[in-house]
Chains A and B, each alone.
Chain A
Amino acid sequence: MSDSTAFISIEGLKKGRKALSEVQETAASGCGSTGGSGKSSCGSSAGPEDMPPEIWDKIKNHPCYSEEAHHHYARMHVAVAPACNIQCNYCNRKYDCSNESRPGVVSQKLTPDQAVKKVLAVASEIPQMTVLGIAGPGDALANPKKTFDTFRMLAEQAPDIKLCLSTNGLALPEMVDEICKYNIDHVTITINMVDPAVGEKIYPWIFWDHKRVTGYEAARILHEQQMKGLEMLTARGVLTKINSVLIPGINDEHLLEVNREVKKRGAFLHNIMPLISEPEHGTYFGLNGQRGPSAQELKAVQDACMGGANLMRHCRQCRADAVGLLGEDRSDEFTLDKIEQMEIVYDLDKRRAYQQSVEAERQAQHEAKEAALAASARDDGVDADMKVLIAVATEGHGKVNQHFGHATEFQIYEVSKAQATFVGHRRVDLYCQGGFGEDEQLPSIVSAINDCHAVLVSKIGACPRDELTAAGIEPVDRYAHEFIEKAALSWFAEYRQRIARGEITHQPRGDARIRQGAYTGGAEAAA
């Protein structure tokens, strides 16, 4: 596949944005497009003031539906649904490698009984685990018996855990009743197109009505089922997240239209994520040279969709058996053999007590941000509209609390005088390999955060410090253990003061590379 048409012009995106603003909002539920400060409301980065209390209640502890929650709460997926009813050109489910982190890949398939046992084991070890999802490795609804057996048992045995599922939507309309029966109030639908002519480049076939259907017809049926399913879920008050894979040259500009159509049908969140595509994955796209988007291309499409359906930007494209906070995977600690050895005590009170302490921490984070925003409001004589990106090394709790050398991902924040907003993450290879720095890793880390002006860490060694500085990225460790937004705003205020005093001049940064899939598990690599 040629990638010659892959780059999207910013002009094209602006055109799309104008079209978005002309659309009448027809959805009965879902969220408004503007919050108090004119930014996109609810969805990924909104808080309780941006939405009705019953919706906030559903998402506040859900790391996938609330950006704020994802710093504090963990999720797990159980791989009980191996079968699929469609084929996507970016998927090859035969491939399994423990260093891979992408949807559709899994190390160990589970029966519903094994899955329930695993959930209870994780819930007792990780009290902040609040969400259980069934996301494959095939399609949750192409395995209805396994999926719903698991949900039924969990609803009985772990009633405080939120249940959600992911689907391609083909079987969705006929399953909506069942979904509502088990109180599953979060459903993710992968929708990559709203035009079958685009869809036939993404889906080679679907299995439908006892036949393998190919080409335009396959994409048309899939599209109709997806839209119908989404409308039915909206009508039943189920929150929906739409995942779209950004495939340069195939659906990049088209995703604006997807955003508009799903918003019209009441989608709660839209998650635009980069295509993961390498020849060694053995996917059709990987083998045929289809590339994924760069960080700027991804952000351009996401930004162009602002004002439409609310965007999620903190997705980590988890494996179908991931365990832990987004961005970490502790599934190795919970293999079937290990679960057998564990004493599982499901203590609801203990979980509640822990979650209350998390709420106190969240409140403190929120207050720190508000105070920092108030402080940054005064006029300092520097361009008031200046915006920069910064990278942050964090182990969770919403704080700058990770050593540069221990980071396997950096969170990216866009900072201005008026806001410090999470806009994404970048996966990197671990720099520190058992006490000494791996200098050959450094260039790949620099390229992953090359669009950032600074990197905020709890600590950093002398060598990477010098190299980052040489690359124009300021390493900053003086905000160690501060809340992220406060640290970001404080650094930015200081940066502006240096500009005001004439010590530095503000330079724009370049593009950054999105790491393709491989995720070197922190624990074993650092050991």
Chain B
Amino acid sequence: MAYKIIASQCSGCSACEPECPNTAIREKGGTFVIDPSKCTECEGQYDSPQCVAVCPVDGCIKKV
């Protein structure tokens, strides 16, 4: 299980990148992507997925 950034929604603001406790997020062509093999959904780390909590675009980051 992992989260995914919908590229068409991503504004490329980079807010999620430093918040990820697993360094699973990186820039790719102006928007950001989550490496599903690294994503833990912040389970056991935080109350809620950090990338979703900080993202300014509602619905941009979804569970897959």
Contacts and interface: CB of A to CB of B under 8 A. Distances in A.
B44 to A, nearest CB: 13
Given A210-B47, A211-B48, A211-B53, A109 B12 contact: yes
Contacts of A87: 56
A138 B46 contact: no
B54 A85 contact: yes
B48 A83 contact: no
B50 A84 contact: no
A84 B11 contact: no
A376 interface: no
Nearest to B9: A94
B14 to A, nearest CB: 5
Interface string A71-102: 00000000000111101000001100000000
Contact of A83 (B15, B46, B53, B57): B15
Given A211-B53, A212-B53, A85 B15 contact: yes
Q: Is the interface of B mostly helix, strand, loop or mixed?
A: loop
B11 A143 contact: no
Given A210-B46, A211-B48, A212-B48, A93 B53 contact: no
Among B15, B19, B46, the most chain A Cβ lie within 10 Å of the Cβ of: B15
A93 B57 CA distance: 9
A83 B48 CA distance: 19
Contacts of A212: 48, 53-54
A440 B53 CA distance: 47
B13 interface: yes
Nearest to B21: A210
A87 B11 CA distance: 14
Contacts of A142: 15
Given A210-B46, A210-B47, A212-B48, A94 B11 contact: yes
Chain A interface size band reads 10 to 19
A83 B14 contact: yes
B15 A84 contact: yes
A87 B53 CA distance: 11
Contact of A84 (B12, B18, B53, B56): B56
Given A93-B56, A211-B53, A212-B53, A82 B14 contact: yes
Contact of A82 (B13, B47, B50, B57): B13
Interface string B37-60: 000000000111010011011000
A83 B13 CA distance: 5
Nearest to A146: B14
Contacts of A137: 13
A82 B54 contact: no
A207 interface: yes
Nearest to B42: A210
Interface string B4-34: 0000000111110111000000000000000
A211 B19 CA distance: 11
B57 A94 contact: yes
Contacts of B48: 211-212
B18 to A, nearest CB: 8
Contacts of B53: 207, 210-212
Contacts of A143: 14
Nearest to B52: A212
Interface in A53-82: 82
Nearest to A137: B13
B55 to A, nearest CB: 9
A83 B25 CA distance: 14
15 contacts: A82-B14, A82-B15, A83-B15, A83-B17, A83-B54, A84-B15, A84-B56, A85-B15, A87-B56, A94-B56, A109-B12, A137-B13, A207-B19, A207-B54, A211-B47
Interface of A: 82-85, 87, 93-94, 109, 137-138, 142-143, 207, 210-212
Given A85-B54, A94-B57, A207-B15, 8 more contacts: A83-B17, A84-B15, A84-B56, A137-B13, A142-B15, A143-B14, A211-B46, A211-B47
Interface of B: 11-15, 17-19, 46-48, 50, 53-54, 56-57
The 6 A-B residue pairs with the shortest CB-CB distance, nearest first, are A83-B15, A212-B53, A82-B13, A94-B11, A207-B54, A83-B14
